[in-house]
Amino acid sequence: MKKIFASVLFLLVMTTAFSTERVNQDSVFNYELEKFADLRILRYQVTGFNELSLQQKKLVYYLSQAAICGRDILWDQNGKFNIAIRKILENIYKTYTGDRQSEDFKKFLVYLKRIEFSNGIYHHYSSDKILPGFTKAYFSGLIANSNQEGFPVSPGMSVEETLQTLIPIIFEKDMLGIKVCQDTDKDLIMNSAINLYSGVDQSEVETFYNQMKIEGDSTPVSYGLNSTLVRDINGIKELTWKVGGLYGPAIEKIITWLIKAKDVAENPVQKDLIDKLISYYITGDLKRWDEYNVIWVKDTSRIDFVNGFIEVYSDPLGLKGTWESVVNIKDINATKRTEAIATNAQWFENNSPVDKRFKKSQVKGISAKVITVAMLGGDCYPHSPLGINLPNADWIRKMHGSKSVTLENISYAYHEADAKSGFLEEFSIDQKEIDILIKYNAITDNLHTDLHECVGHGSGQLLPSVSSEALKNYASVLEEARADLFALYFIMDPKMLELGLLPSLEAAKAQYISYMRNGLMTQLKRIKLGDNIQQTHMRNRQLIAKWCYERGMEKKVIEKVVINNKTYFKINDYVGLRILFGKLLAEVQRIKSEGDYEAAKQLVENYGFKVDRDLHAELLERYEKLNLPPYSGFVNPEYETIEQNGEIIDVILLNTDDYLGQMIKYSDTYSFLPAF
């Protein structure tokens, strides 16, 4: 199915080659493709694909097509004008007849690449609007010298009127200025540009969904997960994301490929879960989503996937799920590592340093595996997670368990690309630190992810009367902190040696060094000087690192050292630091289990939000010299079907080295939603 992609333009012809190369596992694989702005584009290898059976290859192919078909959904969720703006920019890219070698056009290309990377006009991490590096006047010239028929038109408007409406949204910083507002002094809904609500304020949203809840319901659905809440002349209502509803055309395309995938499913359990997912997409019934997740937890097939409205990080109230998909192949050998953790899940629960009231007496159904990613989609593309733990519903996790995956080929691509960056030499206090990190950091990063996803998110329980929404806008930060702390506490436990997961406890020091350094300092490379932290995972990491640093200052557990005007954070007492991790874990679990909103607010606002301006300025200056962009994302592989007499007889794995070419191809081939 995959071909060399080209776009032929009128007048000044420009051909964009979507170049691919056949995978050769014995050849040198180039992980890094290009850098621009604050971004770096990488590739990942799909090792093991060629050893799959034809049925498994077809399953990967069909699921991968479904993973790409939902792309427009995420774009629209990220901002109501995103698809229209993308179409404008891509039309200019494909049809502009002016000087394509000028500095301004190069700035336009960088802007286009950034928008494609973030699936819209808001930065994928900071949530700030991405502003062009060129003027409105130059942009008007780009428009005037491009094919007018290729621009989107808003209903009831001309092309010119449509463009004049959108230009201020592109250029004016404060107009729909931030995707997700986290400032609790403001109305979080009214001040967020995320396209999950329309015409309603925060109190109205909270009242609407609180009225839906049934007191004493032990198996509540995830209210609001798959809908846009709007106000019209008849009042407030939900527009459900389903066939025949909002996002229907894209969902229908996803279903088309899921039906094909069901026909080549590996076993009856997998066939059943795909059928449940299709039923959910058709009806929008959240009970069917729960039924799908219960079956998905039990599925142990070699080929696996997630597909749906899942993570709620982009909703300031943590209710509505953005669309995502990951298709993967189980790494059988590496999975022995995660299976050892999952098998001992009850031991981890019993030995957790939290109050026994908040522990599960019986940990159920935790499964874990290491995977090779075969395709990323939606909110996992092009920037990918390193681990996934699902489902999110607390009652399903308690009654049926959860499934954790570590995306090892994604992690490996990061490490390979970073190997010669100079980062360790710049931010390590001495050669001893460098040696520990070189020797053990890759091992402990993967183990931290395993522990975080498998037993971290899978641990603990709410008290019977506590709602999973009790922490509101702080729920996601505290949940990530809870899982991180669980991993940090246990990674230096002798149990790691007993299970054969670490060669020595000396190795665990690598994770403590890298985590504390990142949380206190180096992650600040991702935000602009003068800003505070908005992103959930960054808040979580600073919260942990700063809390432990302050609590350990008197005994110098962690020491701030300045050498030649450069700041370093030196860990003097690793055992003492582990004790601090345990104390904070106990408090975070208490907050979640009791639904203590005020304590959650104090913890996040005091430790996870504000940035040390002087340290931030120093960090940015040091980091700039490394020429190492703070963010990385990936191009996807391509799959080409070989057919004979109308039947697929093989699926060939290809790799691309053309980031923008892949983005344009996806827009041309997999865009199923209207611009307005």
For residue range 159-215, list pLDDT tens digits in order.
999 999 999 999 999 999 999 998 889 999 999 999 999 999 999 999 999 999 998
Backbone dihedral angles phi then psi of residue 371, each to the nearest 5 degrees = -125, 160
Q: If you average pLDDT over residues 8-36, what whole number do you get?
A: 52
pLDDT of residue 467: 87
- Give, in order, the Cα–Cα distances in Å from 640 to each of 61, 72, 342, 649: 9, 23, 36, 11
Q: What is the pLDDT of residues 505-519, one digit of tens each?
A: 999 999 999 999 999
Alpha carbons 153 and 174: distance in angstroms, whole number: 24
pLDDT of residue 454: 87
pLDDT of residue 559: 95
Per-position DSSP letters for 526-540, written without gaps between them: GS-TT----SHHHHH
pLDDT of residue 15: 30
CB 140 within 8 A of CB 106: no
Nearest Cα residue to 118 out of 75, 76, 160, 80 = 75
Alpha carbons 193 and 190: distance in angstroms, whole number: 8
pLDDT of residue 21: 40
pLDDT at 16 exceeding the cut of 90: no
pLDDT of residue 20: 38
CB 82 within 8 A of CB 101: no
pLDDT of residue 52: 98
Question: CB-based contacts of 218: which residues, under 8 Å, 6+ apart?
Answer: 395
The structure's pTM equals 0.84
Alpha carbons 24 and 11: distance in angstroms, whole number: 39
pLDDT of residue 535: 86
pLDDT band at 290 (very low <50, low <70, confident <90, very high): very high
pLDDT of residue 25: 42
CB atoms within 10 A of CB 331: 21
Nearest Cα residue to 316 out of 477, 122, 118, 481 = 477
User: In the chain, what percentage of residues exceed pLDDT 70?
Assistant: 96
CB atoms within 10 A of CB 493: 18
pLDDT at 13 exceeding the cut of 50: no
Q: What is the pLDDT of residues 409-420, one digit of tens each?
A: 999 999 888 877
pLDDT at 520 exceeding the cut of 50: yes
Q: How many helices (H) and strands (E) does the chain have?
A: 24, 16
pLDDT of residue 534: 84
Enter the DSSP assignment of 653.
E
CB 113 within 8 A of CB 659: yes
Question: CB-based contacts of 210: which residues, under 8 Å, 6+ apart?
Answer: none
Query: Quick one: tokens of 62?
Result: 């069909």
Q: If you average pLDDT over residues 33-59, what whole number do you get?
A: 96
Angle 167-171-177 (CA atoms, 0-180°, nearest 5)? 110
Q: What is the pLDDT of residues 386-442, one digit of tens each?
A: 889 899 999 998 899 999 898 999 999 998 888 778 899 999 999 999 999 999 998
Q: What is the pLDDT of residues 108-165, one digit of tens each?
A: 999 999 999 999 999 998 899 999 999 999 999 999 999 999 999 999 999 999 999 9
Alpha carbons 604 and 608: distance in angstroms, whole number: 5
Cα 206 from chain centroid?
A: 25
Q: What is the pLDDT of residues 325-364, one digit of tens each?
A: 999 999 999 899 989 999 999 999 999 999 999 999 998 8
